[in-house]
Amino acid sequence: MTIQIKQLFQLSSSPPPPPPLPSLNSRPPSFLSLFVCFQEAMRRTLPAFLLFTCASLFLLAFFSLHLSRTTDLIHHFPITLADDRHHSIAIRDQPLPTPHRTRHDVSSVTNSSTTAISTVSVLLPSWEILLIVSPETPFPSAGGNTYVCLFQNNDTSDARLSKPLPFTNRTTLACPMPNRVKRLRPFYQPVLAKCSDKDTLAPGSNSPELMVRWNFMVYESFSTEDDVVLFAKGLNNRQGVNRPPTEFRCVFGDINNKTAVRTAVTSSVQEVFRCHHPNLTDVNFNEKLIKISLEIVDANVVVPSVAYYSCRPPMETTTSAGATEIATTVGTTEIQQNNLDEVCVCTMVYNVAKFLREWVIYHSKVGVDRFILYDNDSDDGLESVVKELNDEGYNVSTLFWVWPKTQEAGFSHGVLYARRACKWVAYIDVDEFVFAPNLWAQSDQPSKHMLKSLLPENNHNNSVVGQVSFKCNDFGPSNQKNHPAEGVTQGYTCRRRFEQRHKSIVRLDAVDDSLVNVIHHFKLKKGYRTRQLSMEKAVVNHYKYQAWPEFQTKFRRRVSAYVVDWMQALNPQSKDRTPGLGFQPVEPKGWAEKFCEVRDERLKMLTQRWFGSHTPDGYRMVWQS
């Protein structure tokens, strides 16, 4: 019996011999001969055929199970993959089969022991969830309450209270997604509840609403006197390729209850879309905040939105004397049109508290009048440092900008936001210092006129210069193992030989209406041009590759024009990537000695002369705490 089984196995596992090739003179085989050949083949391969059949049935069952889960996902989250012309994933504006709820509206908890907290949830990178409390919902943030997020499988995570959104003043919280929830599909919005109430929540009380994805949403709006500017992700996804504005319409109001008003989109570039103001007489808009979104016309799709519309620009106020002035509140500082600052700085920051004093003091002394920081949800005590600087007489303000990977869009927003406060704005980061080697080298003290002297004079012949561009020197870790206490200008003195990037100071009324910008440079209106300064006249010292503990933190929030996420294997040859660095925040061998081709201590010696002094505690820089 064993020999027979072995022979049978060998017979079934060996492939049948190939049929002989027919000769040119042979007659075609008859149907009977073909049938006999088929029977013989089946007899020889029957065990293999049975094995193949069983495997096929198993795969069919597995595929059916996967298909049923996918069908359920599509039922609850109807999506359509756009064609190559669209390059996006569109979410159709269809209400869920749950009564009295609107799509992407609220996630709430209501039972006998809790109060409903209505929120909308956005899934951010790194599995972090942003919860935005609905405008009509009073949020009991006082009283020492702590909160949790309850997920669809009844897992929970702690919710961290964050800063309110600008303009709408909506409360935000953040919570991490538990590991077990990451494996579920689709992702439903978690319920926000007090920590003391989490044990009383009924199983299955999670919201039936789906989470909004950070890479396909309208996240902010800004009203000007002439139009409305929307900021949206997921529509113009390819660098330099923008969909025509005729493919979109702006939607004001609730589309589900037929009160929405639509207006034409006039510009579509990067993440910035401009459209006409609605005619508010067409519909009764009594709400304090009006929902605003974008509609993809051909697909009949409304993009998920957390943005709201105001019919007035956010900077218009009325004085006590009754005269109308242009003003805004940026952090704690009021800006007025009748006293524009000559030079401002606008940048996006995340956890830069330890670097901020040196950067602000230096640039303020050489001519920057105002600093506007777009805070990307810092949690390192940034606000307290800003307050200290303001108390010392420096003009520093913050604008909460929680949206990740939106550097270019944030700069576009900054043009609108600062236009009635500043004439020129420098778009440089907190690790970048403008420096004029030849002009400033012999100065004993800094002067407010120094930076302004690099800009064109305000006369007819030079008025066409709308942007001044500076080349950058990229500095390396310079054998530093940690952040140098005396500051980056003192601790990092070794750099790469050749410049890699350019930064700019732009005249705000010269910026093109599209607000398009790449690598800290803006497209200018017709008739304006960019002036490129030589490195002998002015340069930006970019302390880019710092000590590893500092550089490592950039992996979470780092964003650039060509590398959206450093941990994705995209554009590996881009200049935005660090040579020798992979896709994970793991310290490369010999990091402390990297990028050291030229020893450059010019700014170190200058800042020592300007800001250093001998104290009982030793030689210290003025920004050292």
Helix (H, G, I), strand (E, B) or coil at 266: strand
pLDDT recorded at residue 425: 97
Task: DSSP letter for 359, please.
Answer: H
Whether the per-residue pLDDT at 79 is higher than 90: the answer is: no
Q: What is the CA radius of gyration of the chain?
A: 31
- Of 213, 236, 269, at which residue does a domain stop? 213
Tally of CB atoms within 10 A around 584: 8
- Of 154, 188, 213, at which residue does a domain stop? 213
Tally of CB atoms within 10 A around 208: 13
More confident residue, 294 or 104: 294
- pLDDT tens-digit series, residues 269-280: 999 999 999 987
Do 183 and 241 have their domain in common? no
Range of the domain at 127: 119-213
- pLDDT tens-digit series, residues 517-537: 987 899 999 999 999 999 999
* CATH code of residue 361: 3.90.550
- For residue 60, tell me if it sits in a domain: no
pLDDT recorded at residue 240: 81
Do 449 and 594 have their domain in common? yes
- For residue 535, tell me if it sits in a domain: yes
Angle at 128 between CA 125 and CA 131, to 5 degrees: 120
Do 301 and 407 have their domain in common? no
471 close to 502: Cβ distance less than 8 angstroms: yes
pLDDT recorded at residue 195: 81
Rounded distance between C-alpha atoms, residue 51 and residue 46, angstroms: 9
More confident residue, 322 or 435: 435
Rounded distance between C-alpha atoms, residue 65 and residue 62, angstroms: 5
Q: Which helix (H) or strand (E) holds 598?
A: strand 598-599
- pLDDT tens-digit series, residues 114-136: 455 889 999 998 899 999 998 77
User: Token pair for residue 602?
Assistant: 């010019």
Do 267 and 377 have their domain in common? no
Q: Which has the minimum average pLDDT: 88-92, 143-147, 401-405?
A: 88-92
pLDDT recorded at residue 91: 31
- For residue 317, tell me if it sits in a domain: no
- For residue 222, tell me if it sits in a domain: yes
Q: Which helix (H) or strand (E) holds 407?
A: helix 407-418
- For residue 94, tell me if it sits in a domain: no
Burial class (CB in 10 A: 0-12, 13-18, 19+), 199: exposed
Tally of CB atoms within 10 A around 614: 8
Do 389 and 473 have their domain in common? yes
- For residue 545, tell me if it sits in a domain: yes
Do 365 and 461 have their domain in common? yes
308 close to 297: Cβ distance less than 8 angstroms: no
Q: What is the mean pLDDT of the chain?
A: 78
The percent of residues above 70 in pLDDT, for the chain, comes to 67
- Of 265, 294, 309, at which residue does a domain stop? 309
pLDDT recorded at residue 538: 96
pLDDT recorded at residue 58: 59
- pLDDT tens-digit series, residues 308-351: 997 765 543 333 333 223 344 333 344 455 579 999 999 999 99
Do 171 and 237 have their domain in common? no
More confident residue, 36 or 166: 166
More confident residue, 300 or 70: 300
Do 267 and 167 have their domain in common? no
Do 378 and 477 have their domain in common? yes
- Average pLDDT value for residue range 620-624: 95
- Average pLDDT value for residue range 203-208: 60
Whether the per-residue pLDDT at 65 is higher than 50: the answer is: no
More confident residue, 21 or 405: 405
Do 354 and 302 have their domain in common? no
More confident residue, 591 or 68: 591
592 close to 547: Cβ distance less than 8 angstroms: yes
pLDDT recorded at residue 462: 55
- Average pLDDT value for residue range 140-151: 76
More confident residue, 340 or 36: 340
- Average pLDDT value for residue range 353-369: 97
pLDDT recorded at residue 280: 72
Whether the per-residue pLDDT at 80 is higher than 50: the answer is: no
Length of the chain counted residue by residue: 625
Do 394 and 269 have their domain in common? no
- For residue 601, tell me if it sits in a domain: yes
Split at pLDDT 50, 70, 90, the class of 568 is: low
- Average pLDDT value for residue range 46-57: 58
Q: Which has the minimum average pLDDT: 68-82, 432-446, 547-561?
A: 68-82
Rounded distance between C-alpha atoms, residue 281 and residue 494, angstroms: 63
- For residue 624, tell me if it sits in a domain: no
- pLDDT tens-digit series, residues 583-596: 566 788 889 999 99
- pLDDT tens-digit series, residues 277-296: 998 776 556 556 789 999 99
Rounded distance between C-alpha atoms, residue 132 and residue 220, angstroms: 13
Do 187 and 223 have their domain in common? no
616 close to 502: Cβ distance less than 8 angstroms: no
- Average pLDDT value for residue range 240-248: 94
Split at pLDDT 50, 70, 90, the class of 491 is: very high
Residues 6+ apart with CB under 8 A from 467: 504, 505, 506, 507, 510, 521, 522, 524, 528, 529, 530, 531
Tally of domains in the chain: 3
pLDDT recorded at residue 618: 86
* Closest by Cα among 137, 123, 86 to 304: 123
Whether the per-residue pLDDT at 172 is higher than 90: the answer is: yes
